[in-house]
Structure 1
Amino acid sequence: MRRHRILAVGLAALLLGALSGAGQAEATPVATQAAPQAGALAAPGGGAPYIYPVLGGKDPVTVMHQTGVKAFTLAFILASNGCNPVWDQAGALSNSAVKNRIAAIRGAGGDVVISFGGYSGNKLGNACSSASALAGAYQKVIDAYQLKTIDIDLEAGEVSQAAKVLGALKITKQKNPNIQIVMTLGTGVNGLEGAEAKIPGQAVSLGATVHVWTIMPFDFGGQSGSDMGKLSLQASEGLHRQLKAAYKTKSDAEIYAMQGISSMNGKTDEGETVTVANFRTMLGYANSHHLARYTFWELNRDGKLDYTKVIAQFTG
């Protein structure tokens, strides 16, 4: 997610201390559009809080029992040694701790979405030389964990590689007809801005399926004391208008069912405060408009699990 580097460093330190002590529906094309069925993701995968897979903190299975949440978005897949997918902070895809954690979540009746990208680090979209090479990297992760859903958190320097990323997603969907694809983007208070605003239209032009377009309505221009619930809904309505312009044959209901919100609990990096009440405001909107995804960054920031308990009520 956006500007998460301080948290990443803190969790990395926590992990090092522990070690020293122990020794994220098939699309139906319409002309050149890749248009998914309404409600492609929704709950439980749509309400999947972000978490680093092994960096200390909360145990996902315990969180499942305490809150009712059924899925988690594991962050993030980056690049190493060229176009080779690895975990941020956790290394190789073969990491047994990651595999064991995923197995435990699934054994408890849940599932995982795996997220590629994020705010910092060496992104696959930059490291891979072509759409086909990038699709190959995505495929390695899909195969390693038998995924049903992937999340492309397209931020910072990788936004300029949007055409390559979308080309890779088109290949990925062709090879994995049942995979669901989430695209997560930064936003302004009135919807996507700048280069991000062009990406839905690019997806349509390229015939690349994106089932769910998710915005991150934080670090986005709200001020200290702003009503972040109200501003988040305002941003989502802006996204709605932009998707309507890109997917011209879709109804309002179908467009809402392609939308998602990924918030940030508590204090943001830019001094905004997202409260539990703000989360409830977003929940009401997400459920009444039948959005496909409602989640947040990040589970280990949620000390009493109050935010996670709100997300657990998301039904899509």
Structure 2
Amino acid sequence: MFIPRLAAAVALTALAATAIPGSAAAAGHGHALPEHVFAPYFQTYNPGDPAEQAAASGARYLTMAFLQTPVAGSCEATWDGDPNRPISWAQYGDSIAKLRATGGDVIASYGGGDASGHGTDIADSCTDVDKIAESFEKVITTYDITRIDLDVEGPMPKNLPGVDRRNKAIAQVEKWAAAHGRTIQFDYTVPTNVDGITQDSKNMLANAVANGADVHIVNIMTFDYYDNKPHEMADDTRTAANSLLAELRVLHPGTPDHKLWQQVGIIEMIGVDDYGSGGETGPLEIFTPRDAVDITVWSWLHNIGSLSFWALGRDSACPGQHSDKCSGVQQAPWQYTRTMTPFTHN
């Protein structure tokens, strides 16, 4: 249902008024993130300080992407697969501390599209479940984080041994965290069609259940549909999210819908997306600033668990083009971030 502009503006004002502000004590140091969090992606392969971008944009929570192995076969994840950028406080530690001091926090994301093409996702690359778990534990203890995102796309969900290793490692780390008094949540990020996630992703989530891995949220990437059709991006987001809800009902029978909605996460690509620039009559997939208002309100009303977009470094104007450094549409600086930030609440 399309939400009229005035109603959306009123609703967003209410979000800003009622969202619970973060605090350094509540945001980090072993405490879980807000139950419903907006955490846009910070591109760790681009220059920039996450704390500075957060301060400029108004974002308080960031998803930092990506952690990958330098080469296929390695069990050591590093930032963007760069052997000179290991998981260590020297890499982003001070920035994360600054972000927490202002009431924010970060999510560490493994995998991503580039890893899917090179076999450098930690679970595809490493055949030792214990070492995969050690990598997750290293991120947790180095940065004192409480949430890890696992971005599984391309051929990754078809690698059944890798799928099983990843889920076994999740379960192992969750037991380790409980034994050490730590809070940790694992999310999955997966592609989606308009009518729902792929069978491979469904099988991956079923394997998680079979392995006793507690997946906190399933994030769907509601863009790059690759069907050569024009899309109303907000409408298609809602359709895909309802399809995910139906799949979660199958995975968790007996769980009420209001609980299942809290396991739904949405990731948009702001402006003109990767595939959107390829249409003969212009972009086929454009997530507009108006769509951001609509989806933020819809996400609040459905009480989903997570809202995000790719990527914070793209939240500026460059009309008529697709770029990794701007949105491709006319917008105010940081407009998407400032629209969607009020979603965060407990």
TM-score interval, normalised by the smaller of the two chains? 0.7 to 0.9
Cα deviation, 1:87-127, whole Å, max 9, x if unaligned, reads: 00662123625222212212222111110000013111111
Aligned mates of 1:65, 1:147 — CA distance in 2: 20
Partner of 2:251: 246
**Correspondence list, 1:21-60, <5 A:** 42-43=35-36, 46-53=37-44, 55-57=46-48, 59-60=49-50
Decide whether the 8 Å contact of 1:219 with 1:268 is kept in 2: yes
Aligned mates of 1:245, 1:48 — CA distance in 2: 27
Decide whether the 8 Å contact of 1:41 with 1:212 is kept in 2: no
Decide whether the 8 Å contact of 2:153 with 2:191 is kept in 1: yes
Cα deviation, 1:220-259, whole Å, max 9, x if unaligned, reads: 2465642100001100000000000110020000100111
Of 282, 290, 308 in structure 2, the residue corresponding to residue 277 of structure 1 is 290
Partner of 1:310: 339
* Amino acid of the structure 1 residue aligned with 2:63: T
Moved more, 218-227 or 190-199: 218-227
Decide whether the 8 Å contact of 1:93 with 1:141 is kept in 2: yes
Partner of 1:300: 313
**Correspondence list, 1:117-128, <5 A:** 117-121=111-115, 122-128=120-126
Matched residue of 1:207: which SS?
A: coil
Partner of 1:168: 169
Are residues 99 and 66 of structure 1, via their aligned partners in 2, closer, same or farther at CA, if it must alter by over 3 Å? closer
Aligned mates of 1:236, 1:184 — CA distance in 2: 13
**Unaligned regions of 5+ residues in structure 1, if any?**
1-38
Q: CA deviation at 1:157?
A: 3.1
Q: How many residues align structurally?
A: 275
Of 219, 227, 231 in structure 2, the residue corresponding to residue 214 of structure 1 is 219
Are residues 223 and 274 of structure 1, via their aligned partners in 2, closer, same or farther at CA, if it must alter by over 3 Å? farther
Decide whether the 8 Å contact of 1:40 with 1:211 is kept in 2: no
Aligned mates of 1:97, 1:162 — CA distance in 2: 28
Aligned mates of 1:55, 1:172 — CA distance in 2: 30
Partner of 1:94: 88
Decide whether the 8 Å contact of 1:190 with 1:234 is kept in 2: yes
Q: Which has the larger radius of gyration?
A: 2
Aligned mates of 2:253, 2:219 — CA distance in 1: 19
Cα deviation, 1:266-307, whole Å, max 9, x if unaligned, reads: 111111111111122221221011111000111111111111
Cα deviation, 1:126-171, whole Å, max 9, x if unaligned, reads: 1111322211111111111111111111122322222211111001
* Amino acid of the structure 2 residue aligned with 1:154: V
Partner of 2:329: none
Q: Normalising by the residue count of structure 2, what TM-score does the alignment of the two structures yield?
A: 0.74
Moved more, 65-74 or 88-97: 88-97
Are residues 279 and 180 of structure 1, via their aligned partners in 2, closer, same or farther at CA, if it must alter by over 3 Å? same
Partner of 1:35: none
* Amino acid of the structure 2 residue aligned with 1:69: A
Pairing 1:287–2:300 present: yes
Aligned mates of 1:284, 1:242 — CA distance in 2: 23
Q: Pairwise CA RMSD of aligned residues?
A: 2.1
Decide whether the 8 Å contact of 1:212 with 1:260 is kept in 2: yes
Partner of 1:32: none
**Unaligned regions of 5+ residues in structure 2, if any?**
1-31, 277-284, 317-332
**Correspondence list, 1:142-181, <5 A:** 142-159=140-157, 160=159, 161-177=162-178, 178-181=183-186
Aligned mates of 2:310, 2:227 — CA distance in 1: 17
* Amino acid of the structure 2 residue aligned with 1:74: M
Of 61, 76, 96 in structure 1, the residue corresponding to residue 66 of structure 2 is 76
Moved more, 128-137 or 112-121: 128-137
* Amino acid of the structure 2 residue aligned with 1:182: D
Partner of 1:27: none
Q: CA deviation at 1:198?
A: 1.6
Matched residue of 1:92: which SS?
A: coil
* Amino acid of the structure 1 residue aligned with 2:101: G
Q: CA deviation at 1:315?
A: 3.4
**Correspondence list, 1:185-224, <5 A:** 185-221=190-226, 223=228
* Amino acid of the structure 2 residue aligned with 1:75: A
Aligned mates of 2:205, 2:59 — CA distance in 1: 30
Cα deviation, 1:161-185, whole Å, max 9, x if unaligned, reads: 2221111100111111320111111
Partner of 2:134: 136
Paired-residue identity, %? 27
Matched residue of 1:197: which SS?
A: helix
